[in-house]
């Protein structure tokens, strides 16, 4: 069992720098495409055998030091009693966005083991197969709420902020419900065997720091605090595009802070002090010629040297257009430069 | 003549804090919609009388302290010999994106007075009418290049970064040509009578600091350095979503640095030292109830107190859905709180 990743999460000394890639089980891999060609995206998410297969693919192909279960952050939102659709090339759609009290009242807080047994089964299957640690995950409440309020992806997030500003009680009622669901969901993942949990706050970078403090951060704190009561597995919090929030994210309670590529990791390490960090190669850097790709990897490793722990990763999900061979080269370089 | 705005740009003491809004001449105003209903967007951009009319509207309606000429950052790109189309709801499209040497070679560097006489005429007309200073503008070379390379707007900017990384000579040749065009264009605006110039780097926030330093910043520096040889009017540089770039943007050579809403202005003022700053209210804050909107405005004014100069603005363009009355309330509050 290779548990370098878990050691790094806990801030323990490691023999080398562990590496995995966000969305490593994904469209850039022909092996994933072959599985995905047989089923719809939602069918794939709900099929434990296929989820297991695609979660393991990058471990075998890239030699990464951790696996992440294949799923989608919106799966528990569907389980809250919402219609969820995925349209090719358009992303997720909630045809009935939540804009009023009735919408919030109609949301269920499901028992995750009953409502999403396929997720827990995927985790159990993966634990039997894997020789590296398994990461479970969820969206952060603010990020999840944006999808529910906007009805899908957004650029300006006008409806979300409008609810925050004009109907704060409604907003907080919605967030409280999403938080309860997410909290139970992550606890169930831990019980099923997840060895670390990552919370994705993909859209939080659209908030001014003061709004983040009031409208997003407390819900993440609440989830992590609940988790601490029942499990001591590491928690990773990834506040995407969150350079101006980084001092605040320290208070979320996570063991590891994810970093996108916009911030110099040296600067981040200086600011987040005693936390382990994860990141932060620009996903597009995987398109660089090998010598330059390796130079960037070296630079990140060097600049992260002062961190309490460092897990190498991309600063965002791997792009579908990425040549798998380039991803493999990157993993090999991280290992070689860091002394494996 | 109210030149409070120009005084603030130059870091001089002002009687009160001047305010204007990015995209203040725009779709949120019924008066603009009335004009726009008669012509296409590109026709409007090329009609000096109509541009003058819509540029003046917000000065009269909102009582702002500066006007910005109505135009689009892509107008000079069309003048470089590119086909440009605006599709309703989809934004700008260049049907023939630039991806190779031939594409770069085919670009012209036009004489702005000959190729865009309507812009210069708009400036001359506006100067006759306005009682507040007139701001001219351009896109920054990197931001302009993304449109040319991607063929329009983008989310991931894969083609742009791919060119940077895989064909840096081609990328730099393209940027050099855009820079020359932009430099001449801004100089012509100054000659025609623009009293300040803003350079919009709308997409630069997708770059890692090290890439920004190599692939974007030098071109902005070059433009501003050229401008300094022929005019002493203030230059505002707005690097959108640029919190991690802020120390680098100080070296661009601008008098004023624009700030989006993601950064606390107090933090920004501490970091940009002796520059005047412009910003930084979240455009969606205009949807707040009046008392809370005013509290936010007060907070920004208080937190900017240590700046060498402060021009109140939004952190991004005003949204089409904004009630004009709310924008008027915000301007009035800025003036009242700052002692006009």
**At residue B273, does pLDDT exceed 80?**
no
Strands A91-93 and A134-139: unpaired
- Here the tokens at position A287 are 């398109």
How many other β-carbons are positioned within 10 Å of the β-carbon of residue A137? 21
CB contact under 8 A, A262 and B206: yes
Measured in whole angstroms, the distance separating CA A326 from the mean position of its chain's CA atoms is 22
pLDDT in the model for residue A340: 87
Which residues of chain B are at the A interface, by a Cβ-Cβ cutoff of 8 Å? 156-158, 161-162, 165-166, 205-211, 241, 243-244, 261-264, 267, 282-285, 287-289, 292, 299, 315, 319, 321
Residues of chain B contacting A261 with CB distance shorter than 8 Å: 208
Burial of B288 from C-beta contacts in 10 A (0-12 / 13-18 / 19+): buried
A23 noted as active-site residue? yes
DSSP state string for B102-150: HHHHT-----HHHH-HHHHHHHHHHHHH-SS-EEEEEE-HHHHHHHHHH
CA–CA separation, A208 vs B266, rounded Å? 12
Which residues of chain A are at the B interface, by a Cβ-Cβ cutoff of 8 Å? 156-158, 161-162, 165-166, 205-211, 241, 243-244, 261-264, 267, 282-285, 287-289, 292, 299, 315, 319, 321
CA–CA separation, A223 vs A144, rounded Å? 14
Query: Closest residue of B to A241, CA-based?
Result: B241
pLDDT in the model for residue B79: 98
Domain locations along chain A? 4-250
pLDDT in the model for residue B87: 86
Cβ neighbors of B134 (< 8 A, separation 6 or more) are: B66, B67, B68, B69, B123, B126, B127, B193, B194, B195, B196
A299 noted as active-site residue? no
Share of chain B above pLDDT 70, in %: 100
Find the CB nearest B156 among A209, A241, A319: A319
**DSSP code of residue B201:** E
CB contact under 8 A, A287 and B208: no
Find the CB nearest B244 among A165, A262, A285: A262
CA–CA separation, B150 vs B141, rounded Å? 14
Tens-digit pLDDT profile for residues A24-67: 999 999 999 999 999 999 999 999 999 999 999 999 999 999 99
| Mean pLDDT across B222-239 | 98
Residues of chain A contacting B317 with CB distance shorter than 8 Å: none
pLDDT in the model for residue B89: 76
What amino acid positions of B are annotated as catalytic residues? 23, 27, 36, 72, 147
pLDDT in the model for residue B340: 87
Tens-digit pLDDT profile for residues B183-210: 999 999 999 999 999 999 999 999 999 9
Measured in whole angstroms, the distance separating CA B156 from the mean position of its chain's CA atoms is 22
Catalytic position from the list A63, A72, A226, A282? A72
How many other β-carbons are positioned within 10 Å of the β-carbon of residue B172? 18
- Here the tokens at position A241 are 């595009």
Query: Closest residue of A to B267, CA-based?
Result: A244
Q: A286: distance to nearest CA of chain B, Å?
A: 10
Kindly state the helix (H) or strand (E) to which residue B200 belongs, with its residue range.
strand B196-201
Average pLDDT, chain B: 97
pLDDT in the model for residue B88: 78
Query: Closest residue of B to A262, CA-based?
Result: B208
Kindly state the helix (H) or strand (E) to which residue B238 belongs, with its residue range.
strand B235-239
A72 noted as active-site residue? yes
Residues of chain A contacting B162 with CB distance shorter than 8 Å: 284, 287
Among B169, B208, B279, B285, the strongest candidate for a mutation testing the A interface, having the largest count of A CBs within 10 A, is B208
pLDDT in the model for residue B274: 87
pLDDT in the model for residue A90: 81
Among A90, A150, A154, A244, the strongest candidate for a mutation testing the B interface, having the largest count of B CBs within 10 A, is A244
Is there a contact between A222 and A186 (Cβ–Cβ < 8 Å)? no
3-state helix, strand, coil in chain A (%, to 5): 55, 10, 35
The HSE-up count of residue A125 (CA atoms within 13 Å, CB side) is: 18
pLDDT in the model for residue A140: 98
The domain made up of A4-250 has a fold known as: TIM Barrel (3.20.20)
CA of B319: how far to CAs of A120, B23, B134, B312, in Å? 43, 8, 22, 17
pLDDT in the model for residue B1: 85
| Mean pLDDT across B272-297 | 96
Tens-digit pLDDT profile for residues B28-61: 999 999 999 999 999 999 999 999 999 999 999 9
**At residue B285, does pLDDT exceed 90?**
yes
Q: B7: distance to nearest CA of chain A, Å?
A: 28
Residues of chain A contacting B299 with CB distance shorter than 8 Å: 210
Measured in whole angstroms, the distance separating CA A202 from the mean position of its chain's CA atoms is 8
Find the CB nearest A158 among B158, B244, B319: B319
Torsion of CA A185, A191, A193, A196, to 10 degrees: 60
Q: For chain A, which ranges sit under pLDDT 70?
A: none
pTM for this model (two decimals) = 0.96
The domain made up of B4-337 has a fold known as: TIM Barrel (3.20.20)
């Amino acid at each position: 069992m290779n548990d370098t990743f878990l050691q790094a999460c806990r801030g323990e000394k490691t023999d080398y720098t562990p590496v995995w890639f966000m969305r490593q089980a994904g469209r850039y891999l022909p092996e994933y495409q072959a599985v995905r060609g047989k089923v719809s995206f939602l069918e794939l998410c709900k099929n434990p055998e296929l989820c297991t297969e695609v979660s393991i693919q990058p471990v075998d192909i890239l030699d990464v030091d951790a696996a992440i279960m294949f799923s989608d952050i919106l799966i528990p939102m569907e389980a809250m009693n919402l219609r969820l659709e995925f349209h090719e090339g358009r992303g997720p759609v909630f045809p009935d966005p939540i804009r009023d009290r009735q919408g919030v009242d109609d949301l269920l807080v499901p028992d995750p083991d009953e409502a999403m047994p396929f997720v827990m089964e995927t985790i159990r299957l993966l634990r039997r197969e894997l020789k590296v640690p398994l990461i479970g995950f969820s969206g952060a409440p603010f990020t999840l709420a944006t999808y529910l309020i906007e009805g899908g992806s957004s650029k300006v997030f006008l409806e979300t902020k409008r609810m925050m500003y004009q109907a704060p009680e409604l907003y907080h009622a919605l967030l409280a419900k999403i938080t309860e669901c997410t909290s139970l969901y992550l606890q169930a993942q831990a019980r099923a065997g997840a060895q670390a949990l990552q919370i994705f706050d993909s859209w939080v970078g659209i908030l001014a720091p003061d709004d983040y403090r009031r409208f997003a951060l407390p819900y993440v704190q609440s989830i992590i605090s609940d988790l601490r009561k029942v499990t001591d597995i590491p928690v990773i919090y990834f506040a995407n595009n969150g350079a101006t929030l980084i001092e605040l994210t320290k208070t979320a309670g996570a063991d590891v802070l994810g970093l996108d590529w916009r911030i110099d990791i040296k600067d981040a390490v200086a600011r987040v002090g005693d936390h382990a960090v994860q990141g932060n190669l620009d996903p597009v850097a995987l398109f660089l010629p090998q010598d330059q790709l390796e130079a960037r990897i070296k630079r990140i490793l060097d600049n992260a040297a002062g961190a309490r722990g460092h897990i190498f990763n991309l600063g965002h999900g791997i792009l579908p257009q990425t040549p798998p061979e380039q991803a493999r080269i990157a993993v090999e370089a991280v290992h070689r430069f860091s002394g494996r």
